[in-house]
Chain A
Amino acid sequence: MIELNDVSKVYSNGVKGLDDVNLKINKGEFVSIVGLSGAGKSTLLRSINRLIDISSGDIKIDEKSITSASEKQLRLIRRDIGMIFQSFNLVKRSSVLRNVLSGRVAYNNTLRTLLNLFPQKDVDLALKALERVNILDKAYTRSSELSGGQQQRVSIARTLAQEAKIILADEPTASLDPVTTKQVMDDLKKINTEDDVTVIINLHFVDLAKEYSTRIVGLQAGKVVFDGTPEEATPEVFEEIYGRSLKEDELLGEENL
């Protein structure tokens, strides 16, 4: 369970990223976060694994505060949280397998990982993860030779190899075409239902949010302005979140789904 209590974030330039956010996310939920760019979606996601330090409030992951965790505790908490980025963030020159294995670094002692001596169990796990996202045949390929959709599946495989209990996905489909977008979303949904992994995802396309999630959170200027089921999220609600009616580019379009 993830708990955000009175969380605020003020950036050094005075911009309010998050404004008194209170959220409770249960295990196994598929939560979409929607809102205009700059509404604080990325800040919210990055606060949960403390890639960004919050200014006030507290965030608890399974009853443990990540806000007050020591360096070592923080690494252990992060070990259980997978993250997927818009720009994939793979090391393009490294092989696909090494990128997936990098999800295991926090399970092994530093020297072992530096020498690239991962236990066979970890390698097996990484290969299985690649098979689950259908790119096992690319295991020894350089990541730079993969298409955008394949690269994003590598980062999903990394969270699988990581045996993450929570996946944070920051606009994972923003650099992908509609067809690959659907494949990536299906992969995430599958992991969510089969492995009971909590998924929190920032989405640009509201119809994707409605189709895949079990819960939608709307952000506006760092404040939670909507929190409910996809059924409750009517067009009027989205107009409220966005402060205007939806634009064409905020919908992926029915024919693509």
Chain B
Amino acid sequence: MMDTKLNGPLPAKPSRWPFYFFLIGLFAIVLISAIYIGANPLTFIQNSDNMVDLFVRMFPPAWSYIATTTPAMLETIRMALLGTTIGMIFSIPIMFLCARNIFGLRWLVELSRIGLNILRTIPDLLLAAIFAAILGFSPLAGIVALSIFSIGIIAKLSFEAIENIDNGPLESMTAVGANKLQWIAFGVVPQILPHFVSYVLYTFEINIRAAAILGLVGAGGIGVFYDRALGFFAYDQVLALILYTLVVVIIIDLISLKIREKLL
């Protein structure tokens, strides 16, 4: 065993208390939150037979329900497709407005960004609930909600991509005396196009998932059937719906991923 007597002075040990206080504070917040919403593990345990019952009644899944709901599933895909497309079209001007390296006007850029950030705070389902109230219970409400929701994602990702582009082609466009539109068309667009298309596809993947539940607030698609099946306590139908949605989502993800891999 080594002699552990130190010859020199020991450096000052930093206090751990700030860190402990931080941890205690964090736990207090979580605990208060849990109490505030009445989260009681006991309730969960006491109701665990409900859970078991739910699982038991899910099996076997009602496969025949898949045929019944196929038109609604197709409607869901259509909604996602059109919502993404419309969102994509509106994103184009917005992303150029939000990028710092396109227009020199600072106030315009900042204003557009604040607008975009506000837009991004509103969840898809809330948008759908509001548009269902305006436009009536129809897929149209879902399409409009998804369009607006898509702008938030596509414009955000794209303007960040624009800000990261290589400056060289831009300078050479300026050098040959291009106007602003030509400058964008030949200097910016070729550089961001693959990213842009990739973001649109990514948004489409998100929108398929979103479109599947919009029906719960009356905005069309397969979600209507979730509501119905749960209302009738037909859990075997619910499971069939979940599996059906899962398969569709996975297939579309795979296709989209393949295309995105090819692009980048």
Q: Which A residues fall within an 8 A CB radius of B?
A: 121, 124-125, 127-129, 131, 136-140, 160, 163, 195
Contact = CB atoms under 8 A, between A and B. Distances in A.
8 contacts: A121-B4, A127-B10, A128-B3, A128-B4, A128-B6, A137-B8, A140-B14, A160-B2
B1 interface: yes
Contacts of B10: 127, 136, 139
Given A140-B11, A140-B13, A127 B1 contact: no
B6 A125 contact: no
A124 B10 CA distance: 11
B5 interface: yes
A160 B4 CA distance: 11
A147 to B, nearest CB: 17
Interface size class of B (residues with CB under 8 A): 10 to 19
A162 to B, nearest CB: 11
B121 interface: no
Contacts of B12: 140
A127 B14 contact: no
Interface in B1-41: 1-8, 10-14
A195 B2 CA distance: 9
B2 A139 contact: no
A139 B4 contact: no
Contacts of A137: 8, 11
Contacts of A139: 10-11
Nearest to B6: A131
A238 B203 CA distance: 63
Contact of A136 (B1, B4, B5, B11): B11
Given A128-B4, A138-B11, A139-B11, 9 more contacts: A127-B6, A127-B10, A128-B3, A131-B7, A137-B8, A140-B11, A140-B13, A140-B14, A163-B2
Interface of B: 1-8, 10-14
B51 to A, nearest CB: 33
Contacts of A121: 4
Nearest to B13: A140
Contacts of A125: 2, 4
- Which of B4, B10, B12 gathers the greatest number of chain A CB atoms within 10 Å? B4
B4 A127 contact: yes
Contacts of B4: 121, 124-125, 127-128
A136 B3 contact: no
B2 A136 contact: no
A156 to B, nearest CB: 14
Contacts of A160: 2
B239 to A, nearest CB: 41
Contacts of B14: 140
Nearest to A96: B11
B222 to A, nearest CB: 47
A137 B12 CA distance: 9
B16 to A, nearest CB: 10
A196 to B, nearest CB: 12
A195 to B, nearest CB: 8
A196 B152 CA distance: 68
A128 B2 contact: yes
A139 B8 CA distance: 13
A121 B3 CA distance: 11
- Which of B2, B10, B12 gathers the greatest number of chain A CB atoms within 10 Å? B2
Contact of B8 (A124, A136, A138, A163): A136
Contacts of B11: 136-140
Given A140-B13, A140-B14, A128 B5 contact: yes
B132 to A, nearest CB: 49
A254 B8 CA distance: 34
Nearest to B5: A128
Contacts of B6: 127-128, 131, 136
B4 to A, nearest CB: 4
Nearest to A120: B4
B23 to A, nearest CB: 13
B11 to A, nearest CB: 5
A218 B10 CA distance: 44
B6 to A, nearest CB: 6
A131 B4 CA distance: 10
A121 B14 CA distance: 20
A137 B1 CA distance: 23
A138 B14 CA distance: 12
- Which of B3, B11, B13 gathers the greatest number of chain A CB atoms within 10 Å? B11
A176 to B, nearest CB: 24
Contacts of A124: 4
A128 B3 CA distance: 8
B8 A131 contact: yes
A128 to B, nearest CB: 4
